[in-house]
């Protein structure tokens, strides 16, 4: 199934990559790989992951404290947030 990032989710993703790049480029690449692997798992079986809030589902990345929040649209997956575990809950709710 195809997927699309909400613009604010894409910004979050880029900011997280930039943060890790400042720490270490290898860590940044590991983060990118972890997010890509998470999106791949979502694309394979989008209904596998539990509903987090209303029709929003959450899939946690491996090795990093982030979740990918998404909805299943008619013909695609809409990624609403690349959410760090310590972010204020519900900050992404206006993105639909």
What are the pLDDT digits (tens) for 27-79? Answer: 999 999 999 999 999 999 999 999 988 899 999 999 999 999 999 999 999 99
Whether residue 51 contacts residue 70, with contact meaning beta carbons closer than 8 Å, is answered with no
- On the question of pLDDT at 92 being above 70, the answer is no
Which tokens sit at 12? 């979050």
C-alpha of 83 from chain center: 6
Reduced to 3 states, what is the DSSP secondary structure of residue 9?
Answer: helix
Bigger pLDDT: 42 vs 89: 42
pTM of the complete model: 0.89
pLDDT bin (cut points 50, 70, 90) of residue 87 is confident
21-57: b (≥16 Cβ within 10 Å) or e? eeeeeebbeebeebbeebbebbeeebeebeeeeeebb
pLDDT per residue as tens digits for the range 12-21: 999 999 999 9
């Amino acid at each position: 199934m195809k997927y699309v990032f909400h613009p604010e989710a894409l910004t979050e993703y880029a900011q997280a990559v930039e943060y890790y790049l400042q720490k270490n480029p290898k860590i940044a690449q590991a983060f990118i790989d972890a997010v890509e692997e998470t999106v791949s798992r979502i694309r394979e079986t989008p209904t596998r992951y539990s509903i987090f809030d209303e029709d929003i589902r959450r899939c946690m990345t491996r090795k990093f404290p982030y979740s990918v929040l998404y909805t299943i649209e008619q013909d695609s997956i809409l990624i609403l947030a690349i959410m760090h575990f310590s972010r204020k809950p519900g900050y992404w709710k206006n993105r639909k």
